Amino acid sequence: MNEIGAVESTLRKPVLDALCDHGPEEVEIKLAAGAAMLENLRRHPALQGESQCESLRTTYFDTPDGALAAGKASLRVRRRAKGCEQTLKIALGRKSQMQRSEWNQPLRADAQAPDPAAFPAPAALALDQMRRGARLLPYAELAVERETRLLRRGKALIEVAFDTGEIRAGERPALPIAEIELELCEGRLADLLQLALELPLGPDLGWSIRTKAHRAQALAKGRMPQAVSAAPVALTRGMSVARAFQTIGWNVLAHAVGNLGLVIAQGDSGAIHQLRVAIRRLRAALSLFGKDLLALDPQAPVWRQELRDAAMLLAPARDLHVLAQSIQHPPKALLRAEAAATQSAREGLSQPRFQRLWLQLALWLEDGEYLASPLAGAAVEPLAAAMIERQRSAIRGIRKRLAGMSERDLHELRKDVKKLRYSAGFFQPLDKSRTARAHQDALEQVQSALGRIQDQASAMQAGMAIARLLDLPRTEALALQAQLDEAMALPAVERSQAIEQARDGLALEKTHAGWWEAL
């Protein structure tokens, strides 16, 4: 089958599936930096090499309804001293935060718009599928001064680009750009990650997956940066156990890093919640594969502890935010405590230890000792069923004991349900049946019902925690606790209803369980 036929045969699938095996790939790490840090990086010993400087003027295009952005694609026309070119980039499913299909096509020097038909067949067909005949309109302009250097790291050839400039869209204030891009020209991704880890990561330098096109789109639409939800995991049948774990790991890293910058920059409550969810998902993945693929890898328990510590930084801010949102007129002390906990999370996560964590995890995913496990090359489907069943054993038979369980035991049950939900959810893309979706819905019902009970239990302890955080006098702390107890009181009848909803959810879970046996 020729190249055109191969792509045409996949046009009924999502665009990303069609491109995974066609077209050149761009693999890069983007690090957001302050202007001063960028100047320091120019002098960093690990980044030295012959440099070239140029001015880039870029115009971004999309359909009026943003079809390209919705398809995780960007289309640009770039002008530079040596000519004009158009570029189409589309994020791949496995490592979408740093790996994209990319096509560059020369244009006439006086070209004012892209020429979709000029792209090679895979790119042209994918672009046609996304735009469906709609016009391509400019929505933002980028002006960047770029310095590039080529250097060797291990067996890899890496292009380093220092970018400073701004994005403009209409009459809105320009968005400044200050970042460094590390692009893998040839060689191993692990060497690229090693280079990034040699840099002074911290409050002024951190991994970012927000592309210039993404930022341009947000500026054009007048949108503030938003929290990022988890994307579906791009598992496919026939994957090896190691490849499946890598795919899950990269998916969760994208979820985490996509929210990290927003947490550090703004303390956004939605991003705090999503980052916390991402950490839980990654811990669930480590637990899921822990007794099989990861059993002999000494780093696996290290990552569990590191992620637990990161989660603990976020927990007070998230818990106090949920509490404040649950009360119609939250006490001022609660709001002050929420702000203080949020600031503490921002400062903690910006420090080198946690800025390095995500890149260290990425390096481990690519080059960890688990890849030498005897199970690494085995098909994932048979093992997936056994792993999910193992996670499910924590909740098996518990439905009959719900009513007599303490708040502490209910909290532990909720964590077990959440872990099972994430674990089974990783493999749901391998089974598109309604049963698999219904199983996820049942677990979500249990989690939500138990969450109402947990909110009350948390409120009963919040007053003293707030008192310690704000150094309140004992009398003021007791008064605050009384306010919270009254505001969050869960009447016995509502608690009973929550227990019943959880029991019904567990019954539904049992009905729909086992879909993984057919994988």
- Give per-residue pLDDT as tens, 176-185: 999 999 999 9
Average pLDDT value for residue range 203-217: 94
Whether the pLDDT of residue 37 is over 80: the answer is yes
pLDDT at 456 over 70: yes
Domains and CATH numbers, the chain: 236-378 (1.20.120), 396-518 (no CATH)
Q: How high is the pLDDT of residue 462?
A: 86
How far apart, in Å, do the first and last CA atoms of the chain sit? 29
- Which letter, b or e, does each residue of 334-346 get, where b requires 16 or more Cβ atoms within 10 Å of its Cβ? beebbebbbebbb
pLDDT given for residue 168 in this prediction = 97
Closest-CA residue to 240 (of 370, 376, 374, 382): 376
Residue 9 has pLDDT above 90, yes or no: no
Report whether pLDDT(323) > 70: yes
Q: What is the pLDDT of residue 94?
A: 57
Average pLDDT over all residues of the chain: 91
Taking 60 as the threshold, does the pLDDT of residue 43 lie above it? yes
- Tell me: pLDDT of 11 over 70: no
Rounded to an integer, the average pLDDT of 298-314 is 97
Instruction: Give 364-413 as a 3 state SS string.
Output: HHHHCHHHHCCCCCCEHHHHHHHHHHHHHCCCCCCHHHHHHCCHHHHHHH
Which has more confidence, 485 or 106?
106
Pairing label, strands 25-33, 83-91: unpaired
pLDDT of residue 20: 44
CA distances from 342 to 338, 348, 349, 487, 495 (A): 6, 10, 11, 22, 30
Number of H helices, E strands in the chain: 17, 9
Residue 140: pLDDT band by 50, 70, 90 thresholds?
Answer: very high
